[in-house]
């Protein structure tokens, strides 16, 4: 995307380019005083620039670290702007940016029951099967990094529909981190982190790239001492649930536990229910001869490999999910339980009076993640420490 101007008195005139297109995705722009602030997504995090109205860059807007920034609103003549900033271990806080001094300062911050400085956030690049470099963020206690201690790890991914996994705070993720676990987030192809080409590389006939990226992330975490041999769990929701189901079938040996939630598990019938017919643009259509074998080839429900040892699996869904109908999870869980997959359990968790996840009450979120992360902790070897009263 680029920034252009139009003459208001000549609406049919050709636009004049002010800031040209660049590899980073332009996430937003606003006028503050007599300048612009442009926010870009670069390597799955926000960077912001102060720019003159003719497009000349003045300076980078100082941000507190790796995170997601939004806001930067203003009016003509304003000497300052405010923006929100959130990171993986810091909830959204408000910062003030002075366009004269070119400095940012903290304006308002929520009270926290932990010290964010106890946790480190690092971004790594790792090669996928075809050599493409994939970014992955690893979050853990600094003591684990300083002493090179491998610890039970949850690896999260999505990889689809042009959706980007950007830094943001999660109280449930912090519960895992506070107990001494590692949390990794892979920015797989199929997302929007690097624009249209990144999305195209993970959709339709290219969907296997997403699974290869995720498998390579798991291998990287093990090979580089982030997690132990039997200490890796994987997690994904919705399209990410499909991801978890597919990679478990393809590489069951890699994982100790798997948490597919509200997943698309039957790739031959997904288009027949509720919103599924709109997903054919990303997945392809089982009605088309060219797409059918591709979908059948990775469909989690159709590719369960009896006779192989599978990880422990907790399938989660909700009884009134009108986005991904719970039948996906019901069928998948039944097929898992009917197959000879070894001694570890394959369980189904059904949330009652709940949907796909958006707007879920806090008490239900606490119950869901207490169950899911306790399950992952047990099978990855994470020792849960009770907090003192």
Please give the full DSSP string across 40-68, using - where no structure is assigned: EEETTEEEEEEEETTS-EEEEPP-SSSSE
E strands present in 264-351 = 312-318, 346-351
What does the pLDDT read at residue 77? 83
Name the residue among 39, 37, 36 with its Cα closest to residue 24: 39
pLDDT for position 151? 98
The chain-wide mean pLDDT, for the chain, equals 95
Select from 337, 138, 256 the least CA-distant residue to 248. 256
Lowest mean pLDDT among 16-25, 82-91, 116-125, 337-346: 16-25
Going by C-alpha positions, the residue among 296, 240, 285 that lies closest to residue 264 is 240
Confidence of residue 1 (pLDDT cuts 50, 70, 90): confident
Average pLDDT over residues 191-205: 96
What whole-number percentage of the chain has pLDDT above 70? 99
Provide the pLDDT confidence category of residue 384 given band limits of 50, 70 and 90.
Answer: confident
Q: How many residues belong to the chain?
A: 389
Residue 350, beta-bridge partner list? 317
pLDDT value, residue 387: 63
Which stretches within 106-235 are classed as H helix?
A: 142-146, 171-178, 196-200, 207-223
Q: Is 339 helix (H, G, I), strand (E, B) or coil?
A: coil
Average pLDDT over residues 312-340: 97
Q: By mean pLDDT, which of 137-151, 188-202, 244-258, 358-372 is the weakest?
A: 358-372
Please write the tens of the pLDDT for every residue from 95-135: 999 999 999 999 999 999 999 999 999 999 999 999 999 99
Which tokens belong to 316? 């989660």
pLDDT digits 0-9 by tens, 239-281: 999 999 999 999 999 999 999 999 999 999 999 999 999 999 9
User: Any idea which residues carry the catalytic annotation?
Assistant: 238, 356
Q: Which of 18, 63, 24 is CA-nearest to residue 40?
A: 24
Which are the contacts of 269, defined by CB distance < 8 A and separation ≥ 6?
A: 286
pLDDT in tens, 333-371: 999 999 999 999 999 999 998 999 877 889 999 999 999
Name the token pair of 126: 């790792």
CB 37 within 8 A of CB 71: no
pLDDT for the residue 386: 66
Domains and CATH numbers, the chain: 3-108 (2.120.10.60), 116-380 (3.40.50.1820)
Helix, strand, or coil here: 244?
helix
Is the pTM higher than 0.85? The answer reads yes
- Tell which residue, 4, 24, 23, has the closest CA to residue 14: 4
């Amino acid at each position: 995307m680029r920034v252009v101007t139009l003459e208001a008195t000549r609406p049919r005139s050709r636009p004049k380019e002010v800031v040209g297109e660049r590899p980073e995705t332009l996430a937003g722009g606003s006028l503050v005083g007599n300048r612009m602030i442009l926010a870009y997504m670069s390597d799955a995090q926000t960077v912001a620039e102060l720019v003159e109205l003719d497009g000349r860059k003045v300076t980078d807007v100082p941000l507190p670290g790796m995170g997601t920034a939004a806001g930067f609103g203003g009016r003509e003549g304003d000497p300052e702007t405010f923006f929100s900033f959130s990171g993986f271990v810091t909830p959204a806080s408000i910062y003030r940016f002075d366009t004269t001094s070119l400095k940012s300062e903290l304006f308002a911050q929520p009270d926290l029951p932990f010290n964010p400085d106890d946790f480190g956030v690092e971004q790594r690049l790792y090669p996928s099967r075809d050599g493409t470099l994939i970014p992955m963020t690893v979050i853990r206690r600094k003591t684990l990094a300083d002493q090179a201690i491998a610890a039970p790890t949850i690896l999260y991914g999505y990889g689809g529909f042009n959706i980007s996994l950007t830094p943001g705070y999660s109280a449930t993720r912090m519960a895992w981190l506070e107990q001494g676990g590692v949390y990794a987030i892979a920015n797989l192809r199929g997302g929007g982190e690097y624009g249209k080409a990144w999305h195209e590389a993970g959709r339709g006939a290219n969907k296997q790239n997403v699974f290869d990226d995720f498998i390579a992330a798991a291998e990287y975490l093990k090979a580089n001492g982030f997690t132990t041999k039997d200490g890796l769990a994987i997690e994904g929701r919705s399209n990410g649930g499909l991801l978890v189901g597919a990679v478990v079938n393809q590489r069951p040996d890699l994982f100790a536990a798997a948490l597919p939630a509200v997943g698309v598990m039957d790739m031959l019938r997904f288009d027949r229910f509720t919103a599924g017919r709109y997903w054919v643009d990303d997945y392809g259509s089982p009605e088309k001869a060219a797409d059918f074998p591709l979908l059948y080839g990775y469909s989690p429900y159709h590719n369960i490999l009896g006779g192989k040892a599978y990880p422990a699996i907790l399938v989660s869904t909700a009884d009134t999910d009108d986005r991904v109908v719970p039948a996906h999870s019901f069928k998948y869980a039944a097929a898992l339980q009917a197959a000879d997959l070894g001694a570890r359990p394959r369980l189904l968790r059904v949330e009652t009076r709940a949907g796909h996840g958006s707007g879920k009450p806090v008490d239900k979120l606490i119950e869901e993640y207490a169950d899911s992360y306790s399950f992952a902790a047990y099978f990855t070897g994470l020792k849960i420490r009770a907090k003192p009263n």
